[in-house]
Amino acid sequence: MTTSTSPETGALPAQEAPIDAADGHGKLFRDARNRLNKAIQYFPISPDVEEQLKYPKSSLAVSVVIRMDNGSRRAFKGFRVRYDDSRGPTKGGIRYHQSVNLDEVMALAFWMTFKCAVVGVPYGGAKGGICVDTKELSKTELERLSRTYIEQIADMIGPEVDIPAPDMYTNEMVMGWMADQYNRIKRGKYPGVITGKPLALGGSLGRTDATGRGGVNVLRRLEEHLQIIPEKTTVAVQGFGNVGYHCARLLHDAGYKIVAISNSEGGIYDPSGINPYPMKEWEQTHKEVLAGGPTLGGKHQVISNEDLLKLPVDVLVPAALENQITINNAHEIQARIILELANGPTTTGADVILEQKGITVIPDILANAGGVTVSYFEWTQNQTGYYWEVEEVNDRLQKIMEKAAVNVWQTMKEHKCDMRTAAYIEALKKLSEAIEAHGTRYYFNLP
Ligand code: GLU
């Protein structure tokens, strides 16, 4: 097979993760790092910075052994990876999913590093996870699992070192158990060790819908550039959990027409529109099955998650798992704009195809940074002991997200690159400054 680079962007043709295959790292992490390599082509950084960002700072793999309700013991694989802390304590969620593995957690920690830098929150990146299907556990088993995991990683985390938060299939109650377990181990009250906690335990107002809200802030700020008129814009949202639901709801409030949604049980499509509010109520009372739910047209088509991605809509919002848009289906995407609220929903191979098709991808490290931004606000409130009104949280979030969106847009124009590369360039600027503030090669070589 011959390979040539695109004259426009220097991008590799559509194939997945072609580099560094021999370094022992998994595909997802290699794919993640490819984005960095592409950004470096546009924005050369010093070899020292490149070296610093090459591997995770530290990775921990643990066995989380708990007693099940029936008296038996069961072991679950758990991970915590701190990628880079040049800009501050490391920060990132904890994911519970049956597909969690070290490669995925490394990639997610890498993305967190760049995400925090794009929006300028003073953190490095980390991530954690347990390989578990939470639907198979009782609530008491879930609590034991969460507390035991914290015992296993307690030496690695702390309010000034590494600060976990929720991610897929973990919620504020899980964060509450985890923070409580950390407090028991350390014999004190350290609310800043974990964010995304229940309000009563030091959580922040506005944290629950922050990721969806932040994504909507970005899209709305770029409406003019993207030639979007909300009332004439159709949207399909993949994932109807904490992120997808709030995004759909806020876009609906802003006048956008939500025509398709899906969750892990499947999806529905109604060109007449879907009101996310009653649909959420339906989902909660019908074992998560969306089919049969109230749509504005009265009837809808039942579709799969895969079908949803290919619908003729203006904006596609992947808000579920990674690796959804790949070289196998990117050709069939009809949306004009993709707002990535999931982490890593598009592979590097698919990026090339989407770019050739003229689709604007608002990348994950910008679009979904609202969650970690309000986590930062929560941590700030915990560290100072002074709690904010929700309006203050939402206003500050909007300012940060809009500023980052404009910066990335301008960088994209300046470097004539795609928006993802521009977001990495923005992040690299901040990471380089922090790393080089300790001295450069040039400084140390001066006589
Ligand atoms: N899990 C979320 C993310 O991927 C939030 C992380 C955080 O709040 O630290 O961005």
pLDDT along the chain (447 residues), means of 10: 36 47 72 90 93 95 98 98 98 97 95 98 98 97 98 98 96 97 98 98 97 98 98 98 97 98 96 97 94 92 97 98 95 98 94 97 98 98 98 98 98 97 97 92 81
State which of 199, 232, 251 marks the end of a domain.
199
Q: Is there a domain that residue 444 lies in?
A: no
- Do 390 and 206 meet the contact criterion of CB atoms below 8 Å apart? yes
Q: In this structure, is residue 423 part of a structural domain?
A: no
CB proximity list for 328: less than 8 A, separation 6 or greater: none
pLDDT at 14: 53
What is the position in ligand 1's atom list of the atom closest to the CA of 374?
8
Instruction: Report which of 214, 195, 423, 443 is spatially closest to residue 317, judged by C-alpha positions.
Output: 214
Q: Which helix (H) or strand (E) holds 302?
A: strand 301-303
Question: Do 233 and 352 sit in the same domain of this protein?
Answer: yes
Distances (CA, A) of 397 to 225, 341, 377: 21, 16, 9
CA distance 61 to 435: 27
Task: Kindly state whether residues 163 and 277 are assigned to the same domain.
Answer: no
| Ligand 1 centroid – CA 10 distance (Å) | 31
pLDDT of residue 373: 98
Report pLDDT for 199: 97
Residue to mutate, 372, 374, 400, ligand 1, most ligand atoms under 8 Å from C-beta: 372
Give yes or no: residues 104 and 182 share one domain: yes
In this structure, are 144 and 262 located in the same domain? no
- Specify the pLDDT at position 6: 38
Q: Is residue 372 part of a domain?
A: no
Atom of ligand 1 nearest to the CA of 163: 9
Task: Note the pLDDT of residue 56.
Answer: 96
Rg over CA atoms, the chain: 21
Pocket of ligand 1 (CB under 6 A): 91-93, 165, 167, 195, 343, 368, 371-372, 375
Which residue is listed with tokens 């695109």? 6
CATH number of the domain encompassing residue 326: 3.40.50.720
- Atom number in ligand 1 closest to CA 94: 1
Judgement on whether residues 276 and 339 belong to the same structural domain of the protein: yes
Identify the sign of the CA torsion 28, 33, 38, 39.
positive
Q: State the distance from the centre of ligand 1 to the C-alpha of 94, rounded, in angstroms.
A: 8
**Ligand 1 atom closest to Cα of 343?**
4
Distance (angstroms) between ligand 1 centre and the Cα of 376 equals 10
Q: What's the CA gap between 51 and 69, in Å, rounded?
A: 47
Give the tokens for residue 37.
């390599």
Give the pLDDT score at 383: 97
**Residue 64 dihedral angles phi and psi, to the nearest 5°:** -100, 100
Final residue in a domain of this structure, among 367, 382, 413 = 367
- Cβ partners under 8 Å of residue 243, min gap 6: 211, 212, 215, 319, 341, 342, 368, 371
Residues 166, 222, single domain; the answer is no
- What are the residues whose beta carbons fall under 8 Å from the beta carbon of 443, sequence distance 6 or more? none
Domain that holds residue 347: 210-367
- DSSP H or E segment with residue 263: strand 257-263
Q: Residue 407 has which token pair?
A: 């910066």
Looking at the fold, whether 280 and 156 belong to one and the same domain comes out as no
Do 237 and 293 sit in the same domain of this protein?
Answer: yes
Pocket test for ligand 1, best of 90, 112, 207 (most atoms within 8 A of CB): 112
Residue 416 lies in a domain: no
Buried b (16+ CB within 10 A) or exposed e, 337-349: bbbbbbbbbbbbb
Q: Tell me: do 19 and 133 sit in the same domain.
A: yes
Please state the pTM of the whole predicted model.
0.93
Domain-ending residue, one of 339, 367, 395? 367
Answer whether residue 439 is part of any domain.
Answer: no
Q: Which of 286, 245, 282, 287 is nearest to 262 (CA)?
A: 245
Q: What is the pLDDT of residue 20?
A: 47
Q: Are 193 and 179 in contact (CB under 8 A)?
A: yes
Residues 6+ apart with CB under 8 A from 404: 118, 119, 120, 218, 366, 369, 426
Q: Which one of the listed residues 38, 57, 115, 127 is annotated catalytic?
A: 127
Give distance in angstroms: CA of 371 to centre of ligand 1: 5
Provide the residue type at 93 as one letter.
G
Distance of CA 290 to the CA centre of its chain: 24
127 is catalytic: yes
Q: Are residues 154 and 253 in the same domain?
A: no
Site to substitute for ligand 1 among 375, 381, 382, 397, most atoms within 8 A of C-beta:
375
Q: Which CATH number characterizes residue 99's domain?
A: 3.40.50.10860
245 Cα: distance to centroid of ligand 1 (angstroms): 16
Shared-domain flag, residues 195 and 225: no
On whether the CB atoms of residues 105 and 131 are closer than 8 A, the answer is no
Among 58, 49, 127, 66, which Cα is nearest to 95's? 127
Could you give the number of structural domains in the chain?
A: 2
Given a contact cutoff of 8 angstroms between Cβ atoms, the answer to whether 333 and 308 are in contact is no
Give yes or no: residues 191 and 248 share one domain.
Answer: no
Counting from 1 in the atom list of ligand 1, the atom nearest the Cα of 108 is 4
